């Protein structure tokens, strides 16, 4: 069976992100709906798959911070 590498990255990062931030799957889904995290991981797959999970989590955290600032400015 061939594993989709993008889905594998998304699942890995989502799981580690939830553990790091103490989120339930439902809380992560709500955060994803607000910030499109899984889409961010999909479009950034090429550089992210070489970065390592912790590095990608840092990128996701930066992405969320930038979105929060932009949303607050509107």
Q: How far is the C-alpha of 44 from the C-alpha of 52, rounded, in Å?
A: 13
- Specify the pTM: 0.91
Tell me what the pLDDT averaged over the chain comes to: 96
pLDDT in tens, 17-41: 999 999 999 999 999 999 999 999 9
Closest CA to 62 of 39, 33, 40, 43: 40
């Amino acid at each position: 069976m061939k594993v989709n590498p993008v889905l594998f990255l998304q699942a890995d990062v989502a799981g580690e992100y939830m553990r790091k931030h103490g989120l339930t799957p439902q809380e992560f889904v709500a955060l994803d709906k607000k910030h499109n995290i899984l889409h961010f991981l999909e479009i950034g797959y090429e550089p992210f798959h070489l970065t390592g999970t912790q590095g990608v989590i840092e990128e996701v955290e930066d992405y969320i911070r930038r979105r929060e600032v932009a949303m607050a400015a509107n």
